[in-house]
Amino acid sequence: MQCIKCGAQNLPTNKFCTRCGNKFELPQTPAERKDNISPTVAKVQSSPLSVTSTMPKRQSRDFEIKSMSLGEIFDYSARLYFRNFKVAFLTYAIPNIPLLLISLAYSYFLTNIFLKGAMQSASPLKMAGIFLISLPISLISIFVYLFSQSAMIKLFSDLYLGYETSITIAYRHSLSKFIEVFLTTSLMILILIPCTLALIIPGIVMFVYYLLYLNVVILEDKRFMTALGKSFTLVKEYWWRTFLMIIVIMVLTWLVVSIFSYLPLIVHGFSPASFTLRTISTILSSTAQLFLQPFLSAIWLLYYYDLRIKKEGFDLEIKALNI
């Protein structure tokens, strides 16, 4: 027990400080002694055996925390998504629907107003104007993507582990981590660009190794190279398995988006599409992505936990903590 007046350590049964004589009001109970643990012990106890920096309230857990095959990961992800469809869809859609509307307005302006005049009298000044208009849209898209993906990771993590959660909780956590997410993402891009420019293959290899960095930043107290290194460690020995996951998800995404994108053209008989038809196609494909993306986020979240279970015994940690 530590004296609050002089900082000296005393036995829990002492009524007075052995150094300064300060009187202790009451003998400390075991629960009260938790406040007097050393900083080292406190750091260990608060470090992420758990998956978030805070400890939300528990609710019933619908899924067993265990090692899974790829088929089980897809199955669990689908069930996790559809059982919580409303909150999952809204968490992703709320920031992305305004972005979709902005993109459609920009596309209309670029196609029907700006480019028509630019084609009639193309000039470097007008091309620079297109770039200046496109830049804010691109930056907003990046920010919305990182924010919404971070929120989805937090949401699905809480749902999977049996914590009470909500859209507000997911957004608050995403905002609290946003600077770390943005800077870590920027660092990863700076590493991948020279690797890709070198021979392309090294860029692909490193991209697969760093694939889970966002999960690490959001769910663990890690950032920058530490987060990238943790992702590297998790994927190591499972690189080909991770690469296969990427291929499967890319094919799935392409199939779903293509079906919705080409549906208006199929109805129209594949004749030259008007701007209206192209707009409808864009809206349908974007809507498909709004519904599909939460499912993909759930897949990568469960894959992240699956690797932690395989390499770190995360399922045993959960049982030991009685979460």
Amino acid, res. 25: E
Structure tokens at 52: 């978030």
- Whether residue 63 is contained in a domain is answered as no
Q: How confident is the model at residue 17 (pLDDT cuts 50, 70, 90)?
A: low
- Please indicate, yes or no, whether residues 6 and 153 belong to a single structural domain of this protein: no
- Please indicate, yes or no, whether residues 134 and 279 belong to a single structural domain of this protein: yes
- Whether residue 73 is contained in a domain is answered as no
**Is residue 277 helix, strand or coil?**
helix
- Please indicate, yes or no, whether residues 21 and 100 belong to a single structural domain of this protein: no
More confident residue, 215 or 163: 215
- pTM of the complete model beyond 0.75: no
- Whether residue 133 is contained in a domain is answered as yes
- Please indicate, yes or no, whether residues 24 and 125 belong to a single structural domain of this protein: no
Highest mean pLDDT, choosing among 2-16, 48-62, 274-288, 295-309: 295-309
- Please indicate, yes or no, whether residues 10 and 155 belong to a single structural domain of this protein: no
Q: Is the pLDDT of residue 162 over 70?
A: yes
| 155, 172 Cβ separation under 8 angstroms | no
- Whether residue 35 is contained in a domain is answered as no
Boundaries of domain holding 14: 1-28
- Please indicate, yes or no, whether residues 164 and 295 belong to a single structural domain of this protein: yes
Of 165, 149, 156, nearest to 55 by C-alpha is 165
How does the average pLDDT of the chain come out, rounded? 77
Per-residue pLDDT tens digits for 85-128: 999 999 999 999 888 888 777 776 666 655 555 444 555 666 66
**From CA 292, how far away is CA 280, in angstroms rounded?**
18
Q: Where are the alpha helices (DSSP H) in the chain?
A: 30-33, 39-46, 70-83, 85-109, 115-120, 124-161, 167-176, 178-199, 201-209, 213-219, 224-235, 239-268, 275-312, 314-321
- Please indicate, yes or no, whether residues 24 and 91 belong to a single structural domain of this protein: no
**Is residue 23 helix, strand or coil?**
strand
Per-residue pLDDT tens digits for 1-13: 667 666 666 666 6
| 179, 224 Cβ separation under 8 angstroms | no
Of 145, 308, 292, nearest to 216 by C-alpha is 308
- Please indicate, yes or no, whether residues 96 and 169 belong to a single structural domain of this protein: yes
**From CA 271, how far away is CA 163, in angstroms rounded?**
52
| 61, 162 Cβ separation under 8 angstroms | yes
- Whether residue 194 is contained in a domain is answered as no
- Please indicate, yes or no, whether residues 128 and 277 belong to a single structural domain of this protein: yes
CA angle 100, 73, 215 (to 5 degrees): 55
- Please indicate, yes or no, whether residues 150 and 242 belong to a single structural domain of this protein: yes
CA angle 69, 74, 77 (to 5 degrees): 120
* pLDDT average, residue stretch 239-262: 88
- Please indicate, yes or no, whether residues 124 and 23 belong to a single structural domain of this protein: no
| 140, 99 Cβ separation under 8 angstroms | yes
- Whether residue 96 is contained in a domain is answered as yes
- Please indicate, yes or no, whether residues 138 and 251 belong to a single structural domain of this protein: yes
Q: How many domains does the chain have?
A: 2
- Whether residue 213 is contained in a domain is answered as no
Q: Is the pLDDT of residue 16 over 90?
A: no
